[in-house]
Amino acid sequence: MRVTVAGGRVDSAARDAARAASLTRTPGQASLAAGQSAARSLAGAHVACTRLAVTVDTAGFAAFSGAGVAGDTVGVHISCAVDLADVAIPGVPGSMTMTASYTAPLDPYRAR
C-alpha cells in the first residue's frame, strides 16, 4: 500500500509541476517553477525522495500561438527514488523508483 500511495503522490506532484510551469513566460522560468513545485508537493505529501529528477519539455514555448492549439503545452517528467529499507519484507527491494509524467496547456494569459 505504501508504494501505491507514494506513486499517487508522485503523479500529483507531476501534475502540480506541469501547471506551475504552464504559468511562466520563458522555458527557463518553467524549468525552475516545475522543479520547485515538484519538490514542494512531494515534501508536503511526506514523500522523501533519495533521488529526485524533474525533466521539463519546453518545446511548446517556441511554438506558442496563444490560440490553444495542439503544440501549446509544457510537459513534466518526475523520477523519485523512494527508500523502502524500513519495510523489511523479503523480496521487496531497498528502494523503488516512481515515475510520472504530465502535460499541461500553456496558459494564454500567463504573467502578462
Q: What are the tens digits of pLDDT across the range 76-92?
A: 999 999 887 666 566 66
Query: Can you list the alpha helix ranges (DSSP code H) found in 1-112?
Result: 2-22, 27-44, 59-63
CA distances from 6 to 29, 42, 83, 101, 102 (A): 27, 9, 11, 15, 16
Give the pTM: 0.86
pLDDT digits over 2-50, tens only? 678 888 999 999 999 999 999 998 999 999 999 999 999 999 998 889 9
What 8-state DSSP symbol labels residue 90?
T
Q: What is the DSSP letter of 106?
A: P
Cα angle for residues 49, 103, 74 (degrees, 5° grid) = 100
- Whose cell is 513566460? That residue is 25
